[in-house]
Amino acid sequence: MALLKVKFDQKKRVKLAQGLWLMNWLSVLAGIIIFSLGLFLKIELRKRSDVMNNSESHFVPNSLIGMGVLSCVFNSLAGKICYDALDPTKYAKWKPWLKPYLAVCVLFNIALLLVTLCCFLMRGSLESTLAHGLKNGMKYYRDTDTPGRCFMKKTIDMLQIEFKCCGNNGFRDWFEIQWISNRYLDFSSKEVKDRIKSNVDGRYLVDGVPFSCCNPSSPRPCIQYQLTNNSAHYSYDHQTEELNLWVNGCRAALLSYYSGLMNSTGAVTLLAWLFEVTITIGLRYLHTALEGVSNPEDPESESEGWLLEKSISETWKAFLESLKKLGKSNQVEAEGADAGQAPEAG
């Protein structure tokens, strides 16, 4: 028994074809939007690729770009099929290809759903990527004279200013690395020598942060050195006073920014997927309704359209049986090839 059977007359078939034609061209527009979102996301990730540890984060934007292109191609073709479905002579050339085309559309919808889920699930991998990337970026902050790293200082400073953040998890991360280049240290100074000697790795560590961590909205002039030394500043207590630095770490700020982008992109892609599923179902009804016309010479005759020719359980059983037959045929071919090789070996 057919699943979700619907009766169609000529007027309903024409309305269905016209509605699907319009929906397909709207889906082409949705494909362009998905392509644009993927391209925008890729550009945004490339802007900060220096503070990201790997290129896995580009999987989602690349997938969105590919899905956008495929959506435009498939829906343009489907729009042409729906337009030609109104003319029996034009529809005849599409008739043998419509069933395989519907199968490809189902696979496309599955792929689009997986990409949509990846948009919502990308946060975990992005968090670890940013954590390692920012840590390495801060480590190379001082290497302004090293080829390949001389731009890192500017990158980190612009990042902290743009996203109003400081350090990886917070401003104290700068206390654990030497972010001042040896080029700007006076090694004849007793203070510099004492600081370097007091460190096991021989690094010049200070309780200070780069200027880009300063919050310009603070009424007090920025205190970026000797942050933990209360006696170094007038009327200052680093444990109770609200510091005039950015409080949030850059990892959390970037993660929040990219998560917002990914969630918005995922919502748009989910809507496009629902639209695509609706179109695929409509195409299936149009296909079966046109196939079921009892008298092809009489376009006014009624027909029946359905989603599946059999019930879901029967369709699933038939699919499993076809897979078994395919496996058995491959096994027979392999055995025949082995039997043919045996006499040659003898």
**Tell me: the pLDDT tens digits for 7-44?**
777 788 888 888 989 999 999 999 999 999 999 999 99
- What size, in residues, is the chain? 346
Region class of 4: left (phi > 0), else alpha (psi between -120 and 50), else beta:
left
Looking at residue 263, what is its pLDDT? 93
Closest CA to 105 of 327, 262, 286: 286
Domain ranges, ordered by start, for the chain: 3-136+252-308, 171-245
pLDDT of residue 203: 85
The region of weakest confidence among 50-59, 163-172, 197-206 is 50-59
Average pLDDT along the chain: 83
| Rounded mean pLDDT, 195-224 | 85
The answer to which of 12-21, 219-228, 257-266, 329-338 has the lowest mean pLDDT is 329-338
DSSP 294-306: S-TT-TTS-EEE-
How high is the pLDDT of residue 164?
Answer: 93
pLDDT at 295: 59
For residue 269, what are the CA distances in angstroms to 57, 79, 126, 182? 18, 20, 20, 50
Gyration radius of the chain's alpha carbons = 32
Q: What's the pLDDT tens digit per position in 267-295?
A: 999 999 999 999 998 888 887 887 766 55
According to DSSP, the residues that pair with 214 across neighbouring strands are 245
The pTM of this model reads: 0.79
DSSP 8-state secondary structure symbol assigned to residue 222:
P
Question: In 164-223, which residue ranges form alpha helices assigned H by DSSP?
Answer: 190-197
- What is the reported pLDDT for 346? 44
Helix 123-139 / helix 95-121 crossing angle, nearest 10 deg: 50
Q: Given 3-state DSSP classes, what are the helix, strand and coil percentages for the chain, each rounded to the nearest 5?
A: 65, 5, 30
Query: In the prediction, which pLDDT does 29 show?
Result: 95
Q: What's the pLDDT score for residue 319?
A: 56
The pLDDT-based confidence of 326 (bands split at 50, 70, 90) is low
pLDDT for residue 227: 84
